[in-house]
């Protein structure tokens, strides 16, 4: 029996790959990936069998990976970001369990979109945050919006993945603005760490001017009540200002 690596390749740029990810791809003789992800790592896949699939074919990818492992292959199932965060990890484990297959499965973590995007925006995730997917392909929109409201009421920094459904995005942001007010910072990053990267910073009252730029590979971060914008970066204080005086630097020295 073979083995399955469920690999997170990070946001897509070579500079954000991990050594563990590179090792797993090197050891694998079969690569299973969404077409775009296969393209992002094509410099690593020469001489390997590469099986690609379109969006909404996750079950096919999981099935093929398990079957190939049962045939004795070492298989890398590729996810962007981290495979545990809206990636292939859960599906692979779930399908193996439901079919009573005890194949070896190893997760290779990667930099998820929340962390990649936050690094581009400044430090918006320095306090408690909630990550919510706006994809309603598998989860009802009412359930998603309920989670959005609860996260806003809890004053979490909110990270929104998969904002492709524009009406759902608009309603989610309306709820957040209703709860948080209009001045909270909003960071929007499209194609983080890829060639066509775009970074946009706004507030809950002005973010819609970027609506036409938002697509499936965009991630949105909405700050909490303490978040603010300085030098075109979003800062969410950790709380040090509650116990310490941070006005300690003499800029004339």
Q: What does DSSP say about strands 104-108 and 3-8: parallel, antiparallel, or unpaired?
A: parallel
Domains in the chain with CATH codes: 3-111 (3.40.1010.10), 114-235 (3.30.950.10)
CB 46 within 8 A of CB 98: no
Rounded-to-integer distance, Cα 109 and Cα 34, Å: 17
Coil, helix or strand for 68? helix
User: What is the Cα–Cα distance from 241 to 157, expressed in whole angstroms?
Assistant: 18
Model confidence at 244, pLDDT cuts 50, 70, 90, reads: confident
- Mean pLDDT score, 66-92: 96
Among 39-43, 145-149, 154-158, 241-245, the least confident range: 241-245
pLDDT at 23 > cutoff 90: yes
d(Cα 187, Cα 210) in Å, to the nearest integer?
Answer: 10
pLDDT at 75 over 90: yes
Q: What pLDDT does 68 receive?
A: 98
% of the chain surpassing 70 pLDDT: 100
Cα(172)–Cα(236) distance, integer angstroms: 21
Compute the C-alpha angle 57/63/69, nearest 5°: 135
* The pLDDT of residue 205: 97
Are the C-beta atoms of residues 75 and 68 closer than 8 Å to each other?
A: yes
* pLDDT reported for residue 247: 77
Residue 201: per-residue pLDDT: 98
> 108 and 7 in contact (C-beta within 8 Å)?
yes
Q: Which of 6, 154, 176 is nearest to 76 (CA)?
A: 6
What pLDDT sits at residue 253? 59
pLDDT higher than 90, residue 241: no
The DSSP result for 74-97, as a single string, is EEEEEESB-TTSSSSHHHHHHHHH
pLDDT score of 158 more than 90: yes
Question: Residues 51-57: what's their mean pLDDT?
Answer: 90
Predicted confidence (pLDDT) at residue 240 exceeds the cutoff of 80: no
Q: What is the pLDDT of residues 107-157, one digit of tens each?
A: 999 999 999 999 999 999 999 999 999 999 999 999 999 999 999 999 999
Q: Please give the distance of CA 153 from its chain centroid, rounded to a whole number.
A: 23
Mean pLDDT for all residues in the chain: 95
């Amino acid at each position: 029996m073979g083995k399955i690596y469920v690999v997170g390749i990070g946001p897509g740029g070579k500079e954000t790959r991990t050594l563990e990810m590179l090792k797993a791809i090197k050891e694998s003789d079969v690569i299973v990936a969404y077409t775009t992800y296969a393209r992002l790592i094509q410099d690593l896949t020469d001489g390997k069998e590469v099986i690609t699939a379109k969006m909404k074919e996750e079950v096919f990818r999981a099935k093929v990976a398990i079957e190939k492992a049962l045939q004795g292959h070492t298989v890398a199932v590729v996810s962007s970001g981290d495979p545990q965060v809206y990636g292939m990890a859960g599906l692979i484990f779930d399908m193996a369990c439901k079919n009573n297959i005890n194949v070896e499965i190893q997760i290779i973590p990667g930099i998820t979109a929340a962390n990649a995007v936050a690094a581009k925006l400044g430090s918006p995730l320095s306090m408690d945050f909630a990550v919510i997917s706006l994809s309603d392909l598998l989860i009802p929109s009412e359930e998603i919006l309920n989670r959005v409201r609860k996260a806003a009421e809890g004053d979490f920094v909110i990270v929104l993945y998969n904002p492709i459904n524009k009406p759902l995005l608009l309603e989610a942001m309306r709820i957040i603005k209703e709860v948080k007010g209009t001045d909270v910072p909003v960071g929007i990053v499209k194609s983080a760490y890829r060639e066509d990267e775009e970074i946009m910073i706004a507030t809950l009252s002005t973010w819609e001017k970027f609506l036409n730029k938002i697509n499936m590979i965009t991630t949105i971060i909405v700050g909490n009540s303490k978040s603010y914008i300085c030098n075109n970066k979003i800062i969410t204080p950790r709380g040090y200002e509650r116990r310490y005086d941070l006005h300690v630097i003499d800029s004339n020295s």
